[in-house]
Amino acid sequence: MKFLLVIVFILAVVALIWWIGHQAAKKRRDAMRLVADQLELRFSSDEDYSLDERYPFLNKLCQGDDRYGFNILSGQHRGHAVAVFDYHYETYSTDNKGNRQTHHHYFSFFILHFSESFPELLISREGWFSKFTQFLGFDDIDFESAEFSRRFLVKSRDKKFAYDICHARMIEYLLENRDLSIEIEHHCLTLFFERRLQPEQIRPNLDRLVTIREMFPDYLMVQP
């Protein structure tokens, strides 16, 4: 009898945890749909497993297993083609007893598309980025601003392109926005955050994404 009560209790706890998670996911989904409506963007809550195939050159979308985006906003913002989504991937570890554990990772991702194609450029604070790019063998690029070089890691095989993008005004902007992590490659400018942002943070970060794009030097862009 006691064993049966324990089983019932465990099942009840599991059901409660599932219900809380389900309600939180629904609340976030509804809030992001509202943001999409306010910004006149399309919205899809469906899981999209093709993002890593469409953007195989974006490092952050090609980590771990069971990768997919969801709560996807897409369309035009301030004259630019953009996409915003939650992203999930899994990693695994094994404890000292040989038991495998699954770790779920979630973050927010912003993409702005343009017609030009650029070499890879990564700009970020210390963290996953530094370990990843050190593995690739990238050298950290230094700039005249000692503070910027201290606060940010800038990696690219094309140093001229890195200097073109990280001009004085861009450096000043990034020093005022130190939470940003940026990847530019091919036809994409991206921002990523190591957590899922609150829905009310989507518009201001879309604006920051566009601001960064509009600070690209004119000579880098295809002229109409």
pLDDT computed for residue 224 by the predictor: 47
Q: What is the pLDDT of residue 135?
A: 44
Calpha distance 51→190 (Å, rounded): 13
The predicted model scores a pTM of 0.83
pLDDT value, residue 11 = 58
Q: What is the pLDDT of residue 114?
A: 92
pLDDT at 28: 83
Calpha distance 159→85 (Å, rounded): 30
d(CA 187, CA 98): 44
Q: What range does the domain containing 6 cover?
A: 2-220
Query: What's the half-sphere exposure (Cβ side, CA atoms, 13 Å) at 191?
Result: 26
Q: How many domains does the chain have?
A: 1
Tens of pLDDT, residues 118-166: 999 999 886 555 555 444 555 678 788 888 988 898 999 999 999 999 9
For the stretch 168-183, pLDDT in tens is: 999 999 999 999 999 9
Residues of the chain with pLDDT under 70: 1-25, 126-139, 222-224
> Nearest to residue 195, comparing CAs of 64, 107, 70, 86?
107
* Tokens at 34, concatenated: 């509202």
At 175 the pLDDT is: 94
> What's the chain's Rg over C-alpha atoms?
21
Q: What is the crossing angle of helices 202-214 and 2-39, to 10°?
A: 50
